[in-house]
Copies of this chain bind each other. A is one copy, B any other.
C-alpha cells in the first residue's frame, strides 16, 4: 500500500548549483548526497516534511555524471525539470507484484537498491499517463530515524 509521496525526482545540469538554488530560495537543506557510479548519477536528497506514515517527503536532485546515463539522455532531450515521482510503501515487493498483475509494466524483475539503502522499482511511464513512477521502501534504520 502506497502511503506517502516519498520524493519528487528533479534532473539538473549542475547538482551543486541546484542545491544552492533550493537552499537560497526556500531554505531547504541537504539531508544526504551520494554518487551512483553504475547509474552514472550524483544525487542529493532535500527533506521537505515528515509524513503521516512515519516517513518523509523529499526533493531528489539528480545530476548525470556520464552523457550516456539514463538521466543524461533525458536531460539532453528535455532540459532540466521533473524526471519522476516516487511513492513510499512498507512493501515494495508486494506492491510491485500487485501492480504488475494489473497489467502495468514494472521495469525491474526484483526491486533494486536505491538511495540511502532503500529498495526501489519503477513503473513504465507509458502505462502511467506519462509519469515515470517509482515505488520506494526506505531502509529500516532510515525509517526509524524519522
Does A140 make an interface contact (CB < 8 A)? no
Chain A interface: which size bin?
Answer: 35 or more
Which residues of B have CB within 8 Å of A51? 49-52, 57
Binds B, one of A24-32, A36-44, A64-72, A112-120: A24-32
Which residues of B have CB within 8 Å of A128? 21, 25
A21 CB, nearest partner CB in chain B, Å: 6
Provide the bound-state CA to CA distance between A24 and B99, in Å. 9
Q: Which residues of A contact B (CB under 8 A)?
A: 1-5, 8, 10, 12, 18, 21, 24-28, 48-53, 57, 59, 79-82, 85, 87, 99, 102, 104, 125, 128-131
- Beyond the given A25-B128, A49-B52, A81-B129, could you list 20 further A-B residue pairs with CB under 8 A, ordered by the A residue number? A2-B27, A4-B48, A4-B49, A5-B8, A5-B48, A5-B49, A5-B57, A8-B85, A10-B130, A12-B129, A21-B129, A24-B102, A25-B104, A49-B53, A50-B51, A50-B52, A51-B51, A51-B57, A81-B82, A82-B131
